[in-house]
Amino acid sequence: MSNNKGSLPPRSNGQPRTNRQQPRTAAATQAARPKAKSNKKKPKKRGPFARMMRLLLILLLVAVIAALGYAGYLYWKFDQGGFGVDQPVQAGQAASEKPLTMLLLGTDNRPKHPSNLTDVIMVAALNPKTKSATVVSLPRDTYVELSGYKKTKINAFYSRFKGKEKTSGILAEDEMKTMMGKYLGIEVNYATVLDFQGFRDIVDEFGGVDVNISQNMCYTDSVDGTNINLKQGPAQLDGDKALDYVRYRKSNCSPQTKPSDDFDRNKRQSEVLNSLISQMQSLGGVLKIGRVLDAVDDNLESDIENAQIKSMIATYWDISKADVEFVPVGGTWRSPYVYINDKELEAAKKSLQDRIAGVSASEASAASDSP
C-alpha cells in the first residue's frame, strides 16, 4: 500500500500555500517609492574674498587681544618701578589731562670717556587736546648769558650742577629745569638724561633708523674708540652708526670729509628722532617698547612718575608726525661759542608756548603761511 496521499506536492514547513501577495514592510514600501526631489539648497561654498575677510577679522581680533595683553604687560613693568619715579601723579596733572614740558639731555658719557657734558639739549612741549608737540633743539656750544648764572656754554651747565649736588642739596636735573625754563620763558615739568650707550640701545632695539646722509663723514679717535665712516645717500643705521651720524663734527681722515657745525648736528638729531617716531608707531615697534625700557634702564635718568609714563604712552603713542614740530635754533659760530639768532630763539619760545596754550603745530603753520 502506498503512503502517498494523492499527487499534491508536500507543504512547505507546514505553512499553507496561498496565491495572495504578502503585505510589504514599511521599509520595503519606502524603498520602492520613487525618491522625491529635495527642496533644501546645498550650502554655498565661501568665495576666496569671503574667506580672506574672515581670516583678516580673526587676525584683527588676535592682534587686539595681543595688544591689550601687551599693554597690561607694560603697565605691570612700570608698576615694578625702575624706569621712573615710584610716586603718584597729582590730581589733574596726568599727561592725558594737561600739557607737559620735558627737558631732554644727551650726555657724551661712555665707559672709556666718563663725562656729564650734554651733546644734545632739547625741550619738548606736548598737548593732549591737540595731539601735537614741539621739540626745540639748541646747539651744544650755545653761549648763555642769563641772570644768576655764569656766562658759559649751554652744554657745561649740567656737569657744573652735578659737581655741586652734595654742597647745594639740589639735584642737577632740577637745576637744569629751572635754568632752561628761565632761558625759554616756560615752566619745565620733567627732565630725562640719556647717555651714549642708552641712545645706541634704543636704536638697536627698534631695528635701526632710516636716514638720508647728506655728505660723506669720516673721523677716528683711538682714545675713545670713535671710528666714523659714513657714505652719502639713504641708509639704515644701527645704534653705533646712528650715534656717529648725530655726533660727527670734523674730519681727520685722508682725504678729509667736509666738517659739520652744531646746526647740522641739530638737524640730524631731529631726523633721527623723527625716524624713531615712525619705528615706535609701527606694530613691531609697539611690541618692542618693553625691551627698549629694559635696554636703557642703566643708561637713563628721569624724574617722570611711573604712572605719568603710562599716561604719556596711552596719550601720545599714535601722534601724527605732521603734528610734531621740530625747531632747531640757529645762530653764528665764533669760536668757541655759538651766538644764537634772537629771532629764531623767539620763534622757538613762541612755538613752545603755542603747544602749551593748545594751538596745534598745523594751525600755527597755516597761520604763519597766510598773508
Q: Is residue 301 part of a domain?
A: yes
pLDDT at 47: 63
The answer to the question of residue 256 being in a domain is yes
Residue 6 belongs to a domain: no
Block mean pLDDT (10 aa), the chain, length 371: 45 46 50 53 59 64 48 53 75 95 88 81 95 93 95 96 95 97 97 89 90 96 86 96 93 95 89 85 63 75 88 85 90 94 96 94 69 59
For residue 17, is it within any domain? Answer: no
Q: Is residue 60 part of a domain?
A: no
Q: What is the distance between the alpha carbons of residues 338 and 263, in angstroms, rounded to a whole number?
A: 9
pLDDT tens-digit readout, 283-297: 565 566 667 777 777
CATH code of residue 195: 3.40.630.190
The HSE-up count of residue 320 (CA atoms within 13 Å, CB side) is: 8
Is 15 inside any structural domain?
A: no
Length in residues, the chain? 371
The pLDDT, as a whole number, for residue 193 is 92
Euclidean distance between CA atoms 275 and 179, whole angstroms? 30
Number of domains in the chain: 1
Q: Which domain holds residue 93?
A: 81-369
**Cell triple for residue 174?**
632740577
Q: In this structure, which amino acid lies at residue 11?
A: R
pLDDT at 277: 81
| Residue 51 belongs to a domain | no
**Is 94 part of a structural domain of the chain?**
yes
Helix, strand, or coil (residue 359): coil
**Residue spans of alpha helices (H) in the chain:** 26-32, 48-79, 157-163, 165-168, 172-184, 196-205, 239-247, 262-281, 283-286, 289-296, 306-316, 342-357, 361-369
Residue with C-alpha cell 634772537?
Answer: 342
Q: Which pLDDT does position 76 carry in this prediction?
A: 52
Q: What is the pLDDT of residues 171-198, one digit of tens each?
A: 999 999 999 999 999 999 999 998 888 8
